[in-house]
Amino acid sequence: MPANPEATLQLLQRAASSIDAAEENVRDVLDALPAAIYRTDAGGVLTYYNEAAVSLWGYRPEIGKAEWCGSWKLFRIDGTPLPHDECPMAVALKTGRAIRGIEAIAERPDGSRVRFLPYPTPLYDAAGKPKGAVNMLVDLTDRDRDRQGLSQLASIVESSNDAIVSKDLDGIIQSWNRGAERLFGYRPEEAIGKSVTILIPSDRLGEEADILARIRRGERVETYETIRQRKDGSQLQVSLTVSPVKDVDGRVIGASKIARDITDRKAAEEQQKLLIAEMRHRIKNSLATVQSIASQTLRSASPEERAAFIGRLHALSRAHDLLKIERWDSASYREVVDMALDAFRETHRERFFVEGTGDAWLSSAKAVLLVMALHELATNAAKYGALSNGGGRVFINWEAFKDAEGQSQVRLDWQEKGGPPVRPPERKGFGSMLLERAFEGERGQVRIAYDPEGFSCRLQMLV
């Protein structure tokens, strides 16, 4: 017997307290881990689990009663039921060895399922006797989702009609889809490992150096059009988009390149340019013919009437000049206003004050209508209104907006100030009839006001 039993008892109590404190510290660490961890005794009865395990299982099994695993139900990867006493944890306890690499599926009480990878490991006491086991469950949901996403992405890339190619920072081809094979003629084994310059004509090699420099800086090369070369040496027109490829740490390690064959589209555009140019040429010739006939026919008309008619023909000709090769069937509202006023700005440039909010595209018919309307307003201002004296001014303001029904409209206000006193005309002239009838025919609105202080007009149309 020890000489001092009380002292020995105190030593044992302090030792027991130290062991309890160590176990408490370990438990605190396990509770804080994001991985699902639980422990059983030698008979497979659960003695501990952390909150991550509760999250994976979807409920809290009863400590001291639940056996082998806390999962509500278990299934093998092929979907067949897995009895709890045959689960990896049960096998580890029965065989006395750690089990690795066997995936399983846990079903929660709410019916949802999670695929996981267990790491059951037997535990032994100081004498080498089994005292239980510890298991860590790794949720594979994110891994499976990533795999599925990568598989879908690979399928999309492989089936794309566009050529999709990846390369490293030295321009060496790393991947090559079927679209690239169809477009450039190289099989994957012929292209992968080669420099991407095999696709670039010799007079455009400088493009690749510029692209790689921008990719190294992490920049994306927005879509642009260029020339590339097939295996047989023939050239084609393509649109290219190049984006940086980064690793998990965010470092740029290469680039992905998407190439689309636009040869047919460019040929169609060139054909369209020729047709539009021919159409505009014929329209101008027709207007010139009309002008010649009108000059002969209107000999008896006053010089003022002949000038007005010729001016309208010129306005009509300018309106057709607005129809660009790229947008032959429409014109910008802003450009229409500028074109209509251009002839009058030669002598009255400082007297026009033009502002606009937003922009819109007008059909060719509406563009011609607006040019003619503004021509008539400016002509009348020069003859009788604010531009007929030395101090008058014309204020033009337009606004593009959507009405209550969601339809796009543009409203233009023409306001004259500082001109001679305004009196309503005794009869409607060509300009007034053009404004009212033409705009109403296009579902537009016209409001004219003959205020003594200055003429005003509001033109509104659907676009």
| DSSP H helical ranges for 322-410 | 333-348, 364-383
Mean pLDDT of 180-185: 90
Provide the β-strand partners of residue 165. 176, 257
Q: What are the C-alpha distances in Å from 26 to residues 22, 50, 148?
A: 6, 12, 37
Confidence class of residue 189 from pLDDT cuts 50, 70 and 90? very high
CB contact at 8 A, 331 and 318: no
State pTM to two decimals: 0.41
Model confidence over 38-90: pLDDT tens digits? 999 999 999 999 999 999 999 999 999 999 999 999 999 999 999 999 999 99
Per-residue pLDDT at 2: 45
Q: Say what the pLDDT of residue 187 is.
A: 93
Question: Which range in 10-14, 29-33, 150-154, 280-284 is most confidently predicted, on average pLDDT?
Answer: 29-33
Report the C-alpha gap between 5 and 163 in whole angstroms: 87
Please check whether residue 84 is in contact with residue 68, taking contact to mean a CB–CB distance below 8 angstroms.
yes
pLDDT given for residue 378 in this prediction: 87
CB burial class (10 A; 0-12, 13-18, 19+) of residue 374?
buried
Distance CA 51, CA 119 (A): 17
Beta partners for residue 353, in sequence order: 395
The Cα 387–Cα 165 span in angstroms is 63
Give the span between the Cα atoms of 222 and 208, in whole angstroms.
14
Q: Does the domain at residues 266-462 carry the CATH identifier 3.40.225.10?
A: no
Give me the architecture of the 160-261 domain, per CATH. 2-Layer Sandwich (3.30)
pLDDT at 91 over 90: yes
Instruction: With CA atoms as reference, report the closest residue to 214 among 175, 180, 257, 275.
Output: 257
> Can you name the CATH fold of 21-141?
Beta-Lactamase (3.30.450)
Using alpha carbons, list the distances in angstroms from residue 120 to 73, 117, 136: 18, 10, 7
Per-residue pLDDT at 1: 41
Q: Which of 266-270, 327-331, 375-379 has the lowest mean pLDDT?
A: 327-331
- The string of pLDDT tens digits covering residues 206-227 is 999 999 999 999 998 888 899 9
Instruction: Give the least confident one: 9-18, 314-323, 388-397, 439-448.
Output: 9-18
Q: Given this chain, do its domains 21-141 and 266-462 carry the same CATH topology?
A: no
- 312 CB contacts (<8 Å, ≥6 apart)? 372, 375, 376
**Domain layout of the chain by residue ranges:** 21-141, 160-261, 266-462
Contacts of residue 294, Cβ cutoff 8 Å, sequence gap at least 6: 306, 309, 310, 313
